[in-house]
Amino acid sequence: MQIPENLEQAVAFIKRAHTPTVQVGVILGSGLGNFVNEINVEKEISYNDIPHFPVSTVKGHSGKLIFGEIAGKKIVAMAGRFHFYEGYAAAEVAFPIRIMKLLGVHTLLISNAAGGVNTGFKVGDLMIITDHISFATVNPLIGKNEEAFGPRFPDMSEPYSKDLIQKGKEVAKQLNIPVKEGVYFGVTGPTFETRAEYKMINLLGGDAVGMSTVQEVMVAVHAGIKVFGMSIITDIGIREEENTITHEEVLHAAAEAEPKFSAIFKALVKAI
């Protein structure tokens, strides 16, 4: 089946630069870039150099594909991701996921910084994503279905692999790192939520809210990639007091929690 030309060109470029067979993809969220220190890096390719690859604009995202190995597993990490709020089309946000698929990725580990909506959460908590609600985000699969990747109407009953959730909980337990579980509520941003919106998200069943992930997951699941997702709770949206939220605060909280997050992701790559 026909692979779209822009993807073919991008993959051909990557394969010329490096001949990777990768099994595991990793997407690093805001403030979580230090995870790359866990990788025995073989090759880095800047997004700018890859034909048709979107370029990230957000502070805290450096913008490159990092190829390497962790515990004998070949991985490709995206340091820097694309958000709908930056002005990319939903399909552009999804582009790198299809690149990963074409490079051989069968398992994708996704991370993000998110606002806590569950009243039992506190800043610095890690939440394994068990499900998501895509709220007012644009579905990246709208348009001609790319049959080479998956069906017109993909099943979404298990967007986050139950098996990987189980493995994630096991490795966290072995590492003695407490983790929460919950539903990630995806919004477009770039505004943080109003107090009324945080309340609404809580009522609708969201445990954490963020501006990424859901579109990437839809494209991954469409392509038959197994997904594991983890949120770092960087602020508590649902609250009584008069505090505000800034991007700096989000980056700071993510960086603080990053060692715990990295330990879990590393152990999970090993366990896959």
CA distance 221 to 159: 6
Candidates 55-63, 74-82, 137-145, 187-195 — which segment interacts with ligand HPA by CB under 6 A?
187-195
Per rule CB under 6 A, count of chain residues that contact ligand HPA? 14
Candidates 62-70, 75-83, 149-157, 208-216 — which segment interacts with ligand HPA by CB under 6 A?
208-216
Measured from the CB atom, is 31 or 159 closer to ligand HPA? 31
Q: Which residues pair with 46 in a beta bridge?
A: 64
CA distance 95 to 141: 11
Site string for ligand HPA, 95-114 (x = CB under 6 A): ------------------xx
Measured from the CB atom, is 17 or 123 closer to ligand HPA? 123
CB of 189 to ligand HPA, least distance (A): 6
Nearby residues of 223 by Cβ (< 8 Å), 6 or more positions away: 97, 98, 101, 149, 150
Measured from the CB atom, is 213 or 262 closer to ligand HPA? 213
In the region spanning residues 12 to 71, those forming contacts with ligand HPA, defined by CB under 6 A, are none
CB of 237 to ligand HPA, least distance (A): 4
For residue 235, state whether it binds ligand HPA (rule: CB under 6 A): yes
Measured from the CB atom, is 24 or 214 closer to ligand HPA? 214
Where b means 16+ CB within 10 Å and e means fewer, 52-84 reads ebbebebebbebbbbbbbbeeebbbbbbbbbbb
For residue 234, state whether it binds ligand HPA (rule: CB under 6 A): yes
CB of 248 to ligand HPA, least distance (A): 12
CB of 149 to ligand HPA, least distance (A): 28
For residue 264, state whether it binds ligand HPA (rule: CB under 6 A): no
Q: Which residues pair with 230 in a beta bridge?
A: 111, 128
For residue 129, state whether it binds ligand HPA (rule: CB under 6 A): no
CA distance 109 to 167: 12
For residue 245, state whether it binds ligand HPA (rule: CB under 6 A): yes
Candidates 20-28, 94-102, 232-240, 257-265 — which segment interacts with ligand HPA by CB under 6 A?
232-240
Binding site for ligand HPA (CB under 6 A): 113-115, 189, 192-193, 209-211, 234-235, 237, 245, 250
